[in-house]
Amino acid sequence: MSSFGCQKADLWYIFDMKILGIESSCDETSASLLEIKESRLQIKSNVVLSQAGEHKKYGGVVPEVAARGHAQAIVPAIARALGSDRPDVIAVTSAPGLITSLQVGLQAAKTLSYAWQIPLVGVNHLEGHLFSWLLNGSDLKLGREFFPAIGLIVSGGHTELLLVKGAGRYSLLGRTRDDAAGEAFDKVAKLLGLGYPGGPAVSRCAEKGRANAIDFPRPMIDSKDFDFSFSGLKTSVTNHFLQMAKTGDLSRESLSDICAGFQAAVIDVLGVKTLKAARQHQAKSVFLGGGVSANEALVNSLAGKLKPRPLYCPERKYTGDNAAMIALAGYLNKRKASRNCWRKLTAQAGLKLA
């Protein structure tokens, strides 16, 4: 069982525990059970029920469809994750995300917290991605050798650079001014008829292409700030594709060249900005998280650019939305856990991490 320290008002200082994570911010319904003893982590379960097949016919996530899917899947996901176990704490994604999707997971978590009389803590989904690399091992100790760090979160909804001084201590350095990198991947995949989800489809197609065959722009790569912009790159890809279609030059090889050139442009911008931030803030390490962190070309490029600084990124199975990272972020925020949290915790669709 859990080992609770002193109780101050209704604030629990939790050390060893089993923590149930619940994630429903977009189109993945996920529940996970982590057991933590003396800063050592064991992932007892991580159930992810994907709706990708349902949304594929629409070419993207439909919020109403996603919410209905979560309502159907949330109880089975939690039941599978727990088995015969009972958690000591519940961590749930409360922000950011699709408001109707967030509400499903949040209401389930609040109900269980009330019924079982156990502490609940709300988690920022982006913080889960930021520290998802910790799920690769078992040691949860975050010493001075990691910080300050630069955090790069790259997903379908977010592209952000953060200065990370420790768990819960973040400053926003830059973010996308329009499309997120993952969103740009999805839109290019849809344009080229590669299917959904777009990131893996573009990456696979790019493997057979020539990255230098088409000189796509690198938006804001030389700007003095750390912001990003990918809408202009997406427009350039669209114009190039339409011109090729008009002249009848489209082929499997030309599509691969488009994907390779587009991917290279995105990776170059992300790499230059991240390295610039790491140098300016004398970062000891860089954390990479989010769905696009599954892109091997991005990981390899960043690792090379950032040397000798270590790059920490999650295993592929933890790059997407999953409840294990939410449970982990809940542990990092354990001092915020409260038995009365179910009364006041609300979903916040647009909440920033920093």
Amino acid at site 88: D
pLDDT of residue 6: 26
3-state secondary structure of 319: coil
Final residue before a domain boundary, out of 259, 283, 307: 283
Burial of 245 (0-12, 13-18, 19+ CB in 10 A): exposed
On whether residue 291 sits in a domain, the answer given is: no
Closest to 218 measured CA to CA, from 178, 179, 272: 272
| Higher per-residue confidence, 11 vs 323 | 323
Residues 185 and 154 in one domain: yes
In a shared domain, residues 121 and 165: no
Residue 107 within a domain: yes
Q: Report if residue 183 sits inside a domain.
A: yes
178-235 tens-digit pLDDT: 999 999 999 999 999 998 889 999 999 999 999 999 999 999 999 999 999 999 999 9
Shared domain check, 224 and 185: yes
- Give, to the nearest 10 degrees, the angle between helix 296-306 and helix 198-206: 70
Residues 161 and 125 reside in one and the same domain: no
**Boundaries of domain holding 221:** 148-283
Q: What is the mean pLDDT of residues 232-240?
A: 96
Q: Tell me, yes or no, whether 310 lies in a domain.
A: no
CA separation, residue 331 to residues 33, 144, 211, 288 (Å): 12, 19, 42, 19
Domain shared by 88 and 21, yes or no: yes
pLDDT band, very low/low/confident/very high, at 257 (cuts 50, 70, 90) = very high
Instruction: Work out how many domains the chain is built from and give that number.
Output: 2
Q: In this predicted model, which residue has the larger pLDDT, 138 or 103?
A: 103
Same domain, 337 and 258: no
- Each residue of 49-63: pLDDT tens digit? 988 888 887 878 899
CATH number at residue 28: 3.30.420.40
CA 338 to chain centre: 25
Residue 288 lies in a domain: no
Task: Grade residue 74 by pLDDT with cuts at 50, 70 and 90.
Answer: very high
pLDDT of 289 reads 98
This prediction's pTM: 0.92
